[in-house]
Structure 1
Amino acid sequence: MNRKKMIGVVFLCTVLVSIASAFIVSGVSTVIDNSFLSMLLNQLLLLLPSAVYIIKSRTNLKKSIRLKKISPSNIVLCIVFAFLIMPVMNLINAISLLFSKNMIQDTVTDIVSNNALFLSVFVIAFIPCLFEETIFRGIFYNEYRKSNIKVGIVLSAFLFGIMHQNFNQFSYAFAMGIVFALLIEATDSIVSTMIVHFIINANSVIMTYMLPKLTKILQDLSNSVEGYEDIIDTTTTVTKEAILSSMTYYCVSAAIASILSYLVYKTIAKNTGRWQHVKAIFSSKAGTLIKESDGPEELDEIEAIEEKQGGMFTIPLVIGIVICVVLMVVSEVFVEI
């Protein structure tokens, strides 16, 4: 079995495991009703197919997922980059909420409300930044890029999006997947996307943790001032009307942040000497980028793979995609009902 078909099988197995994990987690919850343990168990189960693939294929994990050191300056820039792309993700999220439901916020709120902050950050930010990046940017993207780097970027991002199995998360996860793949090309290291992924998720956890406390402070303040009791809105439900009224803010902040994030991204790529490589991704030479950017040993391996590899869209991959799309539609209809 060639590598592309194996990756398709891994994705299909990951989808099937995600479905099975929903029942397993549900069963465990009847004994131990703890959302923290449920999410941790779910993440561990999702990693299982990829772990089996790595062991069975006898690949060098560090090499296959591009686990390389990055400079301290680029670590700082990646953190800045993470905050700068958040307004864009917020805009995409806001637009998606006009047509779909937020399927994850209740889970995040439940975990944050019932666990210490560091445990919430651990299970919502730290574990996903390791596991999801290893699966989607490490195994999937780094394999698909060997055939076609541009298609590999979009396909791996698409798989990352639909794996969430709901339209709301798909929208911004797909965008994140594209940005993350480009960030790997700028740094030649999956560590960069792990950092950015962690910062984005950790920020969400901290904001969820702080919101009730800030709301209470403002509510107490408003109650102490006569005539201001109704100024503070303590509701946490985001309505479509509220989103539309804030759309100008979302668009302006996203536009400004996009320009700044591009400048930071360019600096990151220049620091690693890969800016020309990144620019060439969108040129007619994109298909030869892999051979130009990898060393002699990687080149020999890639050439050997190219002789045997088939297309990216294998039958197992397509089946996995179809299952995810069906689940996305069903989940949206179920929520509406």
Structure 2
Amino acid sequence: MRPLKRADGIGVCACSPKFAGYGKGMVIRMNSKKANWAFLVTILCYAGMVFAVANFFPLFAESLVFSNLICEIVVVLPMLVFIVASGENIVSFLGIHKMRFTSVLMTGLFTFLSVPSLTVVNLFSQLWVENEVASAMENMNAGQMPFGLLLFSTGLVAPVFEETLCRGAYYHAYAGSGRRIGAMVMSALIFALIHMNFNQASYAFVMGVFAVLLLEVTGSLWSCILYHSLINGSQMMLLYGAFKVNPNVYSEQAGTITPDFLLYAVGAYLVVVAVTLPLSWAVLVWISINEGRQGALSCFLPKKALPGKAEKKDKLVSVPFVLALILCIGMMTGSFFRIVEKIILMIR
């Protein structure tokens, strides 16, 4: 997604293929159909990895850092193979371009302003499910792990791998269909699903939407990586500090976090969101102007239908995606692994 200046000063949308970093007249070989097949292969590989680690490499499962690294490699590798096999230029296709330093600083401000929106969704999800990150960190005694290693894993490795996959690969593959809003939703949904739990999936989806908007106004995947790193890094520092002081802080406080408390917290944060969300949009507009990508956000705004023959666009959802979605939900609920265990017992 190369930042380009508008030629005529008005009416040029930065979401057109020319402004998406593909190059004028360039054919997008990695399309939505291939992306859906890549997603299905990814989920199958992930399921195989979980089974292999649980049965043959249990020590990896006990390490937060190693298990995270294995998961990241498994979910990214299939898509990269599909991209290479499609003949795409990886750097251009993923949108790895430079961005201005002032835009980098404003990305930090956008991150700060977007956190309350993510917090609202996170709190709301905890009415039904537990805080998966805090629970996992407590179970693995994360407060006693080297902080630098944890920060490297969650604040650098995860953002680079996941943004390369979801905003770089999936979003651009789906956006090639001409359905920008659909591409944003699909890439955000995949980003949510690969976390494999309902708590993280809830706010990961919203985060994925914000990241796509940031990608469009900057034209660079680096902005998404920075955004993701700042969020992960800041949250890791807060959680690590809490577990360092009290290794059992989550389980001790879990009983005091009642549904009423969560609802009050959601209400309080909604007041904050009413202020920060419009400011976040204003920051995005500023960045788009700073990067010479005026009109980048217009692709995500409602438009009046023009008279004449509608342009035929590729479908985003296909059978492989539906199968992958079913597998993801099965793994998130635990039903998939229960079925697999029963099949193995029957075979034995």
Q: What is the TM-score normalised by the length of structure 1?
A: 0.80
Q: 1:215 to 1:116 in 2, by over 3 A?
A: closer
Superposed CA deviations along residues 111-156 of structure 1, whole A, max 9, x for unmatched, are: 6323211110111121111111111111110011121111111111
The partner residue of 1:141 within 152, 171, 194 is 171
1:320 partnered with 2:324: yes
1:211 partnered with 2:242: yes
Would the aligned equivalents of 1:4 and 1:312 in 2 still touch at CA under 8 Å? yes
Whole-Å separation in 2 of the counterparts to 1:154 and 1:79: 23
Give the share of equivalent positions with the same residue, in percent: 27
SS of the residue aligned with 1:246? helix
Would the aligned equivalents of 1:112 and 1:208 in 2 still touch at CA under 8 Å? no
Cα-Cα RMSD? 2.9
What does 1:1-337 align with in structure 2 at a 5 Å threshold?
3-26=31-54, 27-30=56-59, 33-109=62-138, 110=140, 112-147=142-177, 148-212=179-243, 235-237=252-254, 238-284=257-303, 310-330=314-334
Using the TM superposition, give the Cα deviation of residue 233 of structure 1 relative to its aligned residue in structure 2, in angstroms. 11
Whole-Å separation in 1 of the counterparts to 2:283 and 2:148: 29
Would the aligned equivalents of 2:184 and 2:212 in 1 still touch at CA under 8 Å? yes
Whole-Å separation in 2 of the counterparts to 1:331 and 1:79: 40
Q: What amino acid maps onto 1:66 in structure 2?
A: G
Using the TM superposition, give the Cα deviation of residue 87 of structure 1 relative to its aligned residue in structure 2, in angstroms. 0.9
Whole-Å separation in 1 of the counterparts to 2:335 and 2:104: 38
Whole-Å separation in 1 of the counterparts to 2:130 and 2:314: 38
Unmatched segments (≥5 aa) in structure 2: 1-28, 339-348
Q: Which moved more, 1:103-112 or 1:153-162?
A: 103-112
Superposed CA deviations along residues 79-127 of structure 1, whole A, max 9, x for unmatched, are: 1211211111000110111122323322234363232111101111211
Using the TM superposition, give the Cα deviation of residue 166 of structure 1 relative to its aligned residue in structure 2, in angstroms. 2.2
Would the aligned equivalents of 2:174 and 2:183 in 1 still touch at CA under 8 Å? yes
Q: Which moved more, 1:102-111 or 1:271-280?
A: 102-111
Q: What amino acid maps onto 2:149 in structure 1?
A: L
Using the TM superposition, give the Cα deviation of residue 280 of structure 1 relative to its aligned residue in structure 2, in angstroms. 4.1
Using the TM superposition, give the Cα deviation of residue 310 of structure 1 relative to its aligned residue in structure 2, in angstroms. 4.4
Superposed CA deviations along residues 173-202 of structure 1, whole A, max 9, x for unmatched, are: 111111111111111111111100011111
SS of the residue aligned with 2:102? helix
Q: 1:331 to 1:101 in 2, by over 3 A?
A: farther
**More helix by proportion, 1 or 2?**
1
Q: 1:285 to 1:189 in 2, by over 3 A?
A: farther
Match for residue 290 of structure 1?
Answer: none
SS of the residue aligned with 1:235? helix
Whole-Å separation in 1 of the counterparts to 2:250 and 2:238: 17
SS of the residue aligned with 2:39? helix
Superposed CA deviations along residues 264-318 of structure 1, whole A, max 9, x for unmatched, are: 222111111223231243243899xxxxxxxxxxxxxxxxxx99x8422222112
Would the aligned equivalents of 1:149 and 1:286 in 2 still touch at CA under 8 Å? no
Whole-Å separation in 2 of the counterparts to 1:66 and 1:233: 39
Q: After the TM superposition, which segments of 4 or more aligned residues of structure 1 sit over 6 Å from their partners? A: none
Q: What amino acid maps onto 1:267 in structure 2?
A: W
SS of the residue aligned with 1:48? helix
Q: 1:31 to 1:320 in 2, by over 3 A?
A: closer
Q: Which moved more, 1:97-106 or 1:55-64?
A: 97-106
Would the aligned equivalents of 1:25 and 1:42 in 2 still touch at CA under 8 Å? no
Unmatched segments (≥5 aa) in structure 1: 217-231, 288-305
Using the TM superposition, give the Cα deviation of residue 261 of structure 1 relative to its aligned residue in structure 2, in angstroms. 1.6
Would the aligned equivalents of 2:60 and 2:66 in 1 still touch at CA under 8 Å? no
Q: What amino acid maps onto 1:202 in structure 2?
A: G
